Amino acid sequence: MSLTFLSLNIEADRHLDLVRAYLEKNEPDVVCLQEIFRIHAEQFAKKLGYHMVFAPHVIFSQAGGEFPPLGEWGIAIMTKLRVQKTDTTYYGAEGDVIPDRLNAATPHPRALLTAEIEHDGKMFLFATTHFTWAMPRAADQMQHADMLALQAVLDKLPDFVLAGDFNAPRNTELFRRFSELYRSHVPLDVETTIDQLLHRAAPLELVVDHLFSKGDYIVTDVNVVCGLSDHCAITANIDKLS
Do the beta carbons of residue 28 and residue 163 sit within 8 Å?
no
157-163-11-234 Cα dihedral, nearest 10 degrees: -160
* Interatomic CA distance for residues 131 and 150, integer angstroms: 9
**pLDDT for residue 62:** 85
pTM value is 0.95
Q: Which CATH number applies to 3-240?
A: 3.60.10.10
pLDDT at 98: 84
Q: What is the pLDDT of residue 105?
A: 59
What is the CA 171 to chain-centroid distance, rounded? 20
Cis ω for the linkage preceding 203 (within 30 of 0): yes
Q: What is the pLDDT of residue 138?
A: 52
- The partner residues of 128 in beta bridges, in order of sequence, read 113, 163
Average pLDDT by consecutive 10-residue portion of the chain (242 residues)?
A: 97 97 98 98 97 95 86 97 96 76 72 97 97 65 85 96 95 90 97 96 94 98 98 98 90
**CA-to-CA distance for 152 and 87, rounded, in angstroms?**
15
Distance separating alpha carbons of residues 230 and 15, to the nearest angstrom: 8
DSSP 51-112: EEEEEEEEEE-STTSSS-S-EEEEEEEEESSEEEEEEEEE-SB-SSS--SS--TTS--B-EE
